[in-house]
Every structure is written in C-alpha cells, then in structure tokens.
Structure 1
Amino acid sequence: MPYSNPRLVRLYDVDNPDGADHDFFRELVNEVEAPRVVDLGCGTGTLTVTLAQPGREVLGIDPSEDMLDFARSRPGGDTVTWLEGTAAAIEPRSSDVVIMSGNVAMHILEDWPETLASIAAGLTERGVVAFEARNPEAAAWRNWSDTGSVRDTADGRLIESCSIEGPGITGRVVMHIRNEWPDDGDIVEVKQEPQFRSHQQILADLKRAGLTNVSTYRNWLREPFTGGPGQPLMVFVARKD
C-alpha cells in the first residue's frame, strides 16, 4: 500500500494541499444540496472534513487504514464516518454525490469498471459522481522523472527520486519512487501505476455504468474540455440516468 508508511502519510497533506480542486468539489456538493456525500479515496481527509456540515452525512472511504487513522485525528475528523474499503462498500442508493479527487480514479486499475458500477448503484436518483483524470494527450509523465531532489520535511531532510516506465498499451505508467531520509538512513520505495485513459474511453466507461449525462471541464473554472495536448486536466461530472 503506497501510503501505509507513517512518514509518507505525514507528507500527504504537504503534497496535496487544499486548493481550487477542493473548491470545485465543495461548490458542486453545495449546488446539488446533497445530504449524503461519499469521498472515495479520501486519503487523510483534507477535503472530506470540509464537506461535513449540519444536515449532511459524509462518508470517507479509503483502502489505507493508516491514512484513515490520520483523517480521524485531524480537526473535524469526528464529523465524518470513515471506512476502510473500496467503492464496493457504498450501500445501494445511499449517496447523492460521490467524489474522487486527486489521482484517485487513475489509481483504480483492473477494478475500474466495477468501481463505476458500484458508484452508479450507490447513487440516488439523479445522483452525481465527480472526479478528475489527466489527459494522455498532454503526456504529463514526461516530467515525472527525478534523479534526486532534496527537501526538508517534518521528519528531516528527504531525498526523492523517481524513474518512469511506459505508458504501456493500456495507458499505465509505472513509477518507481525512492524516498530516503539520510539523517537516519530510512528508505521507503514505492511503486505506483497510474493509468491514463482517453476522454472517449472514460465517456464509454461511464456510459456502460449507466452514467451518460456527462460534462467534462478542462479546469476548475468549468471551462469545457475540447481536447488536445494543451488541456492536461479532465474534470468529469456525471449524473445517474
């Protein structure tokens, strides 16, 4: 599990701060006036806790219990129900909005069709799912290699390196990430495989799951996505049929 190491868990909030993406999801939830929200792949709960308010139930689901322990301990953590698991844990017709922020959707690999099916089944009538993905036409992976950058962290000086393989025929990029804290010699190596799916592929996947009323944006300002390498971000908002 990439974020089962305590040091990586503590770094997660630093590397994934609150920002325009979280504003987008908060505004969407408020517009829908959703009384029941699921943050799927919630991580340490930075966004999740801000969705909670009187009259709204928020469920944060993540496969990493270490991440969830951190989420529970953060301010506002007691306003959210936290659950270790995947989309399969969403009860049928239990949610008005399901969110997958960050690169969550890209890290769901073989289970992607089943995940969308579970989300669709978990949505109420006219329920909404919203998530982001990277446009493969922009080839973001070309900028991910790192031969050894250094930064200071709460656990001391950190040296990070990353080598890239791919993308393969399925669009998967294999990332070999090495984290070294030289002050005490701790080394954590992580392998991640984000999958780049085209706009058309994601639309087709959503349709198969019964989610055909789809809007795609190229940024967090809701400007329409039109494709091409100059639009690296794809933000999907789909309603259940």
Structure 2
Amino acid sequence: MRPPDTAFADPRLAVLYDVFDDDRRDLDAYEAIVDEVGARTVVDIGCGTGSLAVRLAALGLRVIGVDPALASLEVARSKPHADQVEWVHGDATVLDGRPVGADLAVMTGNVAQVFVDDADWSATLDSVRGCLRNEGWFVFETRRPQARDWEHWDIAPTSVVLPSGERTVVSRTVIAVEPPLVTFESTTVVAGEQVTSASTLRFREPQEIEDDLAGHGFRVVEVREAPDRPGKELVFVARRG
C-alpha cells in the first residue's frame, strides 16, 4: 500500500497533530458505538496518535491500535493509558493470520478514504473481516462527495502559537480535484524549515461502499449521519456475515 503521508510519518509533524486537531468530539460517537454493540475487544485501524485507542483502554477494553506511520505511534505510546494498548506498526494487512477475534473494528477520520487504489481497499476490507469474530462489527466514516467540502479546505498562511510557546505558520491548499480523488497540500514551518505534506482522498459513493462491503462478507446494518458533521459525513455500521 502507499506509504503514510508526511503529516503522519515525519516526527516533526506527527508530534503536532493533536495540537492542530484538538477537537475530537467525533470520537464521542465511536465510544457510544462501543457501548451500543457491547464490544470488549476493539481494533483501531489507522489509529494515528492513538486518541481513541487510549480513550477506550481507559475504560478497561482490550484495544489494538494499528498504523503504518511509526512517528504517529511513537506519539501514541507517550499518552496516558498507552501501556494498556497493543500497538501494531503496519497497515491493516499486518493483522492477517492473527487470532484477534475482535468484537469491533473502527476507522475514524479520513482513514477509509486514504485507500485510493481498489486493490488496497479490497485488501483492507479482507483484513478487517479476518480480525473480527463471527458477527463482529465494522464501523467507519466517509465524507459525502455531494457536500464538496474540499471547497472550504484552503487555509491561508496562519500563525499558530504551540504549547511550547514557539510560533509556527501553517497553510493548506487543494491542488487537484479529479473525482473521485481530491488532493491537497499542507505546509508547516518547523524550526524555520517549511515541511510539506501532500494527501489524496477518495470520495466513494454510498452505494459503491455498500457493494464493496457486501462483496467482502459484510452486511450493512445502518448508515448514519456523522453527529459532528451532519450533511457532510456518513457513518457505516456493518457486521461480518
């Protein structure tokens, strides 16, 4: 699969991720779903800096956090309750052959959309299915293409004061819209050096996602509005058949 974006793989940027994206109300819905389905073992695929993983571990759950960006995992390992999480470096296929038997697998944020290649997406769905127990749950979110939210993603160079008291400048520009793909570029000034990260997301239609899930042994139980971004994102709640 394609390597992780610089924003997650470069230690200079990974350590800033939670600073720039500190509003994690989106995780409230996932914690509620854990309770809803009665999950005791959860696999967080594309766990990044571990915000959800450590939150669930603090509740006494068995949590496996998987991510291909080692720098992000290093940030995750520094957080409270991180010692209660099993951290796995790699993409979802690293779980193949492991007797996980999870009750629930999740992909939060933009994780489901980073698989721009059909083969990568297919392999990921197979790996997710393989890590779940029979009738286990798979929950993830994806942005609605019709909302065209990328039209509001550009950020002019903006000065930001870090917790350390240092000042940095960040910006973001959408550089290509070629449906179903959207590519944007983010820049951050770190110690006087401008560090750039390019990201491409794939915007799949809901029916396409449902067909993909069915083709990999899942049945869609419900498609919900993302409570923190109504009208912009959907949450797929599926179950291993």
> Normalized against structure 1, the TM-score is what?
0.88
Matched, 1:200 2:170: no
Partners of 1:109 and 1:218 in 2: CA distance? 23
Matched, 1:136 2:145: yes
Code of the residue aligned with 1:79 in structure 2: it is Q
User: Relative to structure 1, is the Cα distance of residues 5 and 102 closer, same or farther in structure 2, using a 3 angstrom cutoff?
Assistant: same
Aligned to 1:167: 177
Greater strand share, structure number: 2
Q: Judge conservation of contact 1:18–1:46 (CA < 8 Å) in 2.
A: no
Aligned to 2:67: 62
Q: Judge conservation of contact 2:141–2:226 (CA < 8 Å) in 1.
A: no
Which has the higher mean CA deviation after the structures are superposed, 18-27 or 61-70? 18-27
> Normalized against structure 2, the TM-score is what?
0.88
Matched, 1:30 2:38: no
Deviation, structure 1 residue 126? 0.8
Q: Judge conservation of contact 1:20–1:220 (CA < 8 Å) in 2.
A: no
Equivalent pairs: percent with the same residue? 35
Deviation, structure 1 residue 220? 2.5
1:65-114, CA deviations, whole angstroms, 9 ceiling, x for partnerless residues? 11111111111110101010111122356211001111111112221111
Aligned to 1:73: 78
Partners of 1:114 and 1:54 in 2: CA distance? 31
Count of paired positions: 231
- SS for the counterpart of 2:44 is strand
Aligned to 2:187: 178
Partners of 2:215 and 2:176 in 1: CA distance? 27
* Unmatched 5+ stretches in structure 1: 222-229
Q: 2:21 aligns with which of 16, 22, 29?
A: 16
Aligned to 1:191: 198
Partners of 2:155 and 2:22 in 1: CA distance? 21
Code of the residue aligned with 1:145 in structure 2: it is D
* Unmatched 5+ stretches in structure 2: none
Q: 1:150 aligns with which of 142, 154, 159?
A: 159
TM superposition outliers: structure 1 runs of 4+ over 6 Å = none
Code of the residue aligned with 2:220 in structure 1: it is N
Deviation, structure 1 residue 60? 0.4
Matches within 5 A, 1:224-239: 231-239=231-239
Deviation, structure 1 residue 168? 1.5
- SS for the counterpart of 2:221 is strand
1:168-195, CA deviations, whole angstroms, 9 ceiling, x for partnerless residues? 14x11111222124xx422111110011
Code of the residue aligned with 2:63 in structure 1: it is V
